[in-house]
Amino acid sequence: MIQVSGLNKSLYGGGHRVDILNEINLVIPTGQFIAITGASGSGKTTLLSLIAGLDEPTQGEIIIDGQDITKLNEDALAELRGQHFGFIFQNFNLIPTLTALENVVLSAELNGTNGAQKKSIDLLNLVGLSKRNHHYPVQLSGGEQQRLCLARAFVNQPDIILADEPTGNLDSQNSKRVLDLMTNLHHEKKATILLVTHEEDVAQKAERIIVMGDGKIIEDSIPT
């Protein structure tokens, strides 16, 4: 599903070059659940942004489903994201003026998903928000908002889910619930998941753990 080759990302300022990513090579099979860990500043979120086509690499290739996305223009990238990706953010990024149901339906309709209303309701039921469909984000707890984000991410049945610290703002109980839901949805929907986290117990939920340091992959292993 995803192949990254010779990926570099550098920033320039004040006459200096700062290397964010250095020679990243990575193959991610279809349907695998991967946790990307490492200290702050190790390049985790930058790698996720590059794979999503939200940022441009300085050098290298990113192949998504056989297509090198580094050669696509912004319109083509937007279309690819709509067709292949679902996103889960630490800060939720929900639309405050829309209800829970409307947030999910809007995502489905923007991507031309058939039966958007029914699929949205079914997913909200699946994540335990059946009684919160008509509540606004401000009326939901942090755990409920993140579960809403899960429904929004999966409503278009994406091939790839990119999750950036999805449990970073949650307490331990809600963190476990969100991770359990993500794992269940992964098994049910067969999506490829890349989850960025600095929490060891969260990483252990994945099928594969990639550890980054100083912009490089320093470990790639299967959790025990």
Strands of 192-196's sheet in order across = 85-89, 160-164, 192-196, 33-38, 208-213, 216-221
- Cα–Cα distance between 205 and 10 in angstroms, integer? 32
Mean pLDDT of 156-182: 85
- Cα–Cα distance between 42 and 146 in angstroms, integer? 25
> What integer pLDDT is reported at residue 68 of this predicted model?
94
* Parent domain of 153: 2-221
More confident residue, 174 or 67: 67
Distances (CA, A) of 22 to 42, 71, 119: 10, 20, 41
> What integer pLDDT is reported at residue 183 of this predicted model?
87
CATH label of the domain that carries residue 75 = 3.40.50.300
| Residue 121, SS3 per DSSP | helix
**pLDDT range class, residue 131, cuts 50, 70, 90:** very high
Find out whether 145 and 94 touch, Cβ atoms under 8 Å: yes
> What integer pLDDT is reported at residue 210 of this predicted model?
97
Percent of the chain exceeding pLDDT 90 equals 60
| Residue 87, SS3 per DSSP | strand
Provide the sign of the torsion angle of the four alpha carbons 122, 207, 88, 67, taken in this order. Answer: negative
- Tally the domains of the chain: 1
